[in-house]
Structure 1
């Protein structure tokens, strides 16, 4: 599977001719600039370089804010871009503002990393033509399944997320809960675990609002066991580890707890810095996504839409499963 994927990527990177008769400008709009999203910029730039006459514009807010993201999208509309790929921060606000405007002026939109949720009053397909990114519910399930391998008899859990209204993160929370409880939930993020197949969430998820220092402080409270104690920690994003120095400093006193699995630590994403921390035994498992491929496929999909070619409405990008034992080789993608 990994070899086939690499061959497909290599083939698709062969130079293409635009043949559209004009320069095309496609924008990739992240939730905010970060280690994770900036990899989608690289994919965007590389894909655009393979198509003559296509330009990648990577622009987003400095901080996670739906209003700032909305302003960026409106700026791009004013500049007359030919297509927009957006990682949705908050569905309803964008659907009622900038993305409604993009639809009205005829600019095609695709979503990446984070799609619309049920809070909007219309079919997501009426606002976006494709979604490119992780199967977020399946990613959450994978986080839960990996935890079960290390805690087969259940335990107590604290989860960490970014924003309580983030569509992709709520799907991941629901996926974790489904994997641990065996239950099916009607809407994300599901319900707090309460002695479900031996699993109990001792509090609501910790929301860091994409603030890295806050994510580290929250995780430190889990390591201390104050104000509440749990034996398992799952982060549905990589926030705390993205402040490498602060994370390492905070975790140093708790090395024995990690080594003895007094607290099992499972974190999303696998940047090179995160894999080094995995090697250094500062987490037990990292499950990685493919932000580079999200950015690359966003440009290719927008190009197909504008040039009236067939395109996939859903593209799920690969994930990787990394442990302290396989950190050197785990970045060979597998499908979910």
Structure 2
């Protein structure tokens, strides 16, 4: 075998052993950047990785700050841009800060951005053009309405409500709060989070929504304080995120002394999301209702949408994922 033949055979072997790359000549790297570490966002990471495995030409990089801190999130995004990421999906923690910082770097670098779970709020999108190409996730106003409608079924004559939120400047959570208020009051509000309920259709908010700043421990303690109150400060509690139930052991331990109070509907408890652990708690009557989202599908659709954008294919600019309406009666089938 001559030298040229040997070289040709070796070259053929090397080419055969190389990984399969995309049409552009490289594996595309897409980052999915969550608000914080937790059961909900980890499911979006699972969806992201599953989609990447199916598409083959894509690598998913899932990132989640340990806590809900916009500066940590912004730093992660900037690092991804420096590392040459091909596309970014971000659950927006705080609209204006990200828009002024990492998003400007992404735009200047020509890196497409989509949002999932939490979009940039309307004023920020108006101020900064072309921030993101698409939003994938829950219709957050409709999610808020779903909380309110569930509560109305359980307490049709109205009552005294406390709403728990995360960050008071979180755009998706403010839409949810507005949805709750709209469902209960029958009013239409122009700007999130709407107006505090004051005997609207029999509903009054005891105080402004309680922010937990995406901290599970704080969310659990806030719930415990509300349930401990004697006499009851509020007879209804809505958490527009799943924070307190993100640690199943901690939630079960906190709420165990109040099982009778829940059974008698002295306080009605409705919480966002429907993970396996949350459905188990619903089965055990440790809440009255959960409205589930689909973070797994958000992660999948974020990756497939970014791929379409990079390949200059048609894509949807607004993709709403479905809700699941879960009760102690239908917990076993509500997310199917």
Q: Scaled by the length of structure 1, what TM-score is found?
A: 0.92
| Separation of aligned partners in 1, 2:311 and 2:173 | 33
| Separation of aligned partners in 2, 1:160 and 1:207 | 6
| Separation of aligned partners in 2, 1:125 and 1:66 | 20
Change beyond 3 A, Cα 1:125–1:271: farther
Cα offset for 1:173? 0.2
SS in 2 for 1:132: strand
Among 217, 222, 241, the residue aligned to 2:221? 217
Cα offset for 1:89? 0.1
Cα offset for 1:318? 1.0
2:190 pairs with 1:186:
yes
For the 8 Å contact 1:31–1:60, the answer to whether it is kept is: yes
Change beyond 3 A, Cα 1:226–1:103: farther
2:99 pairs with 1:95:
yes
| Separation of aligned partners in 2, 1:124 and 1:143 | 32
Cα offset for 1:122? 3.0
Aligned to 2:148: 144
Alignment size in residue pairs: 317
Within-5 A mapping of 1:235-254: 235-254=239-258
| Separation of aligned partners in 1, 2:73 and 2:151 | 34
Cα offset for 1:227? 9.1
Aligned to 1:234: 238
Among 65, 74, 97, the residue aligned to 1:70? 74
| Separation of aligned partners in 2, 1:149 and 1:228 | 20
SS in 2 for 1:126: coil
Aligned to 1:29: 33
SS in 1 for 2:325: strand
Aligned to 2:210: 206
Among 259, 262, 276, the residue aligned to 2:263? 259
Aligned to 2:24: 20
Aligned to 2:17: none
Aligned to 1:288: 292
Cα offset for 1:267? 0.4
Aligned to 1:298: 302
Cα offset for 1:244? 1.3
Q: What 5-or-longer segments of structure 2 have no aligned partner?
A: 1-19
| Separation of aligned partners in 1, 2:165 and 2:79 | 29
| Separation of aligned partners in 2, 1:287 and 1:204 | 22
Q: Deviations over 1:49-107 (max 9, x none)?
A: 11122100011211110000000000000001000000000000000000111011100
Among 98, 115, 119, the residue aligned to 2:119? 115
Change beyond 3 A, Cα 1:119–1:281: same
Q: Scaled by the length of structure 2, what TM-score is found?
A: 0.92
Cα offset for 1:121? 6.5
| Separation of aligned partners in 2, 1:44 and 1:123 | 30
Q: Deviations over 1:103-134 (max 9, x none)?
A: 11100000000000134263566110000000
Among 309, 330, 333, the residue aligned to 1:329? 333
| Separation of aligned partners in 2, 1:318 and 1:18 | 31
Q: Deviations over 1:241-271 (max 9, x none)?
A: 1121121111111111111111111000011
For the 8 Å contact 2:21–2:27, the answer to whether it is kept is: no
| Separation of aligned partners in 2, 1:106 and 1:259 | 55
4+ residue segments displaced more than 6 Å: none
| Separation of aligned partners in 1, 2:310 and 2:129 | 16
| Separation of aligned partners in 2, 1:33 and 1:251 | 23
Q: Which moved more, 1:111-120 or 1:70-79?
A: 111-120
| Separation of aligned partners in 1, 2:330 and 2:165 | 26
Aligned to 1:104: 108
| Separation of aligned partners in 2, 1:200 and 1:54 | 50
| Separation of aligned partners in 2, 1:156 and 1:280 | 25
| Separation of aligned partners in 2, 1:194 and 1:175 | 16
Q: Greater Rg, structure 1 or structure 2?
A: 2
SS in 2 for 1:84: strand
